[in-house]
Amino acid sequence: MQKRILLQKHPDAEFISDIASVFNFKRKGLQTILESAVCGNPTHIVVATKDRLARSGFELVKWLVELSGGQIEVLDDPDNASESFDTQELIGFITSFCNSHYGKRSAKRRKESSVKKGQVLPRE
């Protein structure tokens, strides 16, 4: 739905999307944007909300893009008050951390279970 709305507003836009945690700064799409900014290429970036680009460090990304002559347009939800942003950022951080933590525990448990059953695991 967000992509459709952005396409209506910017029909000639190039879409960069990442499927990863917004706390992961090694995302290919984010790195592409940052490399473009560091190389001095002015880029107009449109995001639905700030946390779609970077949950933490948004101001740094914005500064780099603006330093190269670009801009970031945020199509924020008007109900998203700035005073609630810190709370949302904290909840997002905790959620991301818990997902990562429990995902690692689950993988470890599956590995231990497979070893006990004598199954051969593929190398990682």
For position 63, what pLDDT does the model report?
92
Whether residues 52 and 97 fall in one domain: no
Is 59 a domain residue? yes
Which residue has better confidence, 93 or 42? 42
Number of domains comprising the chain = 2
In a domain, 68, yes or no: yes
Average pLDDT over residues 39-49: 87
Distance CA 41, CA 92 (A): 31
For residue 16, what are the domain limits? 1-78
Q: How much is the pTM?
A: 0.55
Residue 78 has pLDDT above 60, yes or no: no
Any domain includes 123: no
If asked whether residues 102 and 60 sit together in one domain, one would say no
Alpha helices by DSSP H, 10-124? 28-38, 50-53, 58-67, 85-116
Spatial distance between the Cα atoms of 46 and 33, rounded to a whole number of angstroms: 12
Q: Is residue 19 part of a domain?
A: yes
Assign 71 a pLDDT band (cuts: 50, 70, 90).
Answer: very high
Task: Please tell me whether residues 14 and 64 are part of one structural domain.
Answer: yes
Q: Say what percent of the chain tops pLDDT 70.
A: 78
Specify whether 43 is located in the same domain as 88.
no
Same domain (yes/no): 85, 107: yes
